[in-house]
Structure 1
Amino acid sequence: MKGPDFSKRIKKLRSLLQDNNLDSALITDRHDIRYYTGCTITGPGFLIIGKQKPKLFLSSIDNHIRTKQADVLFFKDLKEIKSHLKQYKKTGFDEYNMKAYTFIKLKNKNLVPAGKIIKFPRMVKDEWEMKQIKKSIKITAKIFETLEVNGKKEKEIAREIEILSLKLNTEKAFPPIVATGKNTGFIHHIPTNAVVLKGLTIIDMGVKFNGYCSDITRMFYSKITQRGEKLIEDVKEIQETIIDEIREGVTFSEIEKFYEKLMKRKGYKVYHSFGHGVGLEVHEGPSKTDILRKGMVVTVEPGVYKKGIGCRIEDMIKIEKMKAKPLSKFIPL
Structure 2
Amino acid sequence: MKLSVLQVKLKQDQLDVAVFFHPDPNLTYLTQYVPSQGFLCVSQKEAVFYVSPLDKPPKRPFTVKAMNKGWEKELPPKFMKIGINKESLTLGNLEKLKKIFPKAKFTDVSAVLKDLRRQKLPQEIKHIAKACQITSKAFQALIKELPKKTLKTEQDVAFFLEKFMKQKSCGLAFPTIVAMGRNAAIPHHQTGSSKLQRGFLLCDFGGSYNNYCADMTRMVFLGKPSAEERGLYALLLEAQELGISLIATGKKFKEIDGEVRKKLGKYAKNYIHSLGHGVGVEVHEEPSYKDSAVVEENTVFTIEPGIYFPGKMGFRIEDTVFFDGRVKILTTASKELPVVEKF
TM-score computed with the length of structure 2 as normaliser: 0.84
- Distance verdict in 2 for CA 1:247–1:15, change over 3 Å: farther
Moved more, 245-254 or 200-209: 245-254
Q: Distance in 2 between matches of 1:198 and 1:178?
A: 15
1:134 aligned to 105, 117, 129, which one?
A: 129
- Aligned residue for 1:128, secondary structure, equals helix
Asked whether the 8 Å contact 2:49–2:62 carries over to 1, the reply is no
Runs of 4+ with deviation above 4 angstroms: 251-265
C-alpha distance after superposition, 1:282-309 (max 9, x if no partner): 1121113544321110011111111211
C-alpha distance after superposition, 1:85-127 (max 9, x if no partner): x433422210111001211332355110111212322221111
Q: Distance in 2 between matches of 1:119 and 1:196?
A: 40
Matches for 1:192-203 after TM superposition, within 5 Å: 192-203=192-203
Q: Does 1:54 align with 2:58?
A: no
Which position in structure 2 is the counterpart of 1:12? 5
Equivalent pairs: percent with the same residue?
29
Q: Does 1:97 align with 2:88?
A: yes
Deviation of 1:234 (Å): 2.2
Which position in structure 2 is the counterpart of 1:38? 32
Matches for 1:254-265 after TM superposition, within 5 Å: 254-256=255-257, 259=260
Moved more, 224-233 or 96-105: 224-233
Q: Does 1:311 align with 2:310?
A: no
- Distance verdict in 2 for CA 1:205–1:112, change over 3 Å: same
Which position in structure 2 is the counterpart of 1:143? 138
Task: Give the superposed CA RMSD.
Answer: 2.5
Asked whether the 8 Å contact 2:304–2:318 carries over to 1, the reply is yes
C-alpha distance after superposition, 1:142-200 (max 9, x if no partner): 11111123543111111111221222222222222111111111112222332323221
Asked whether the 8 Å contact 1:53–1:71 carries over to 2, the reply is no
Q: Distance in 2 between matches of 1:330 and 1:142?
A: 7
Asked whether the 8 Å contact 1:135–1:209 carries over to 2, the reply is yes
Q: Distance in 2 between matches of 1:101 and 1:33?
A: 18
Q: Distance in 2 between matches of 1:165 and 1:267?
A: 34
- Distance verdict in 2 for CA 1:54–1:253, change over 3 Å: farther
Q: Does 1:117 align with 2:115?
A: no
Which position in structure 2 is the counterpart of 1:227? 228
Q: Which runs of 5+ in 2 are unaligned?
A: 337-343
The number of aligned residues is 322
Which position in structure 1 is the counterpart of 2:340? none
Which position in structure 1 is the counterpart of 2:275? 274
Deviation of 1:263 (Å): 5.1
Asked whether the 8 Å contact 2:58–2:64 carries over to 1, the reply is no
Moved more, 201-210 or 226-235: 226-235
C-alpha distance after superposition, 1:54-88 (max 9, x if no partner): 1223343436344332342525458638x53x433
Higher RCO structure (Cα 8 Å, ≥6 apart): 2
Which position in structure 2 is the counterpart of 1:247? 248
Which position in structure 1 is the counterpart of 2:331? 328
Q: Distance in 2 between matches of 1:231 and 1:96?
A: 39
Which position in structure 1 is the counterpart of 2:285? 284
Moved more, 95-104 or 55-64: 55-64
Deviation of 1:332 (Å): 3.8
Q: Distance in 1 between matches of 2:32 and 2:241?
A: 36
Moved more, 279-288 or 250-259: 250-259
Q: Does 1:301 align with 2:296?
A: no
- Distance verdict in 2 for CA 1:120–1:328, change over 3 Å: same
Asked whether the 8 Å contact 1:30–1:40 carries over to 2, the reply is no
Q: Which runs of 5+ in 1 are unaligned?
A: 1-7
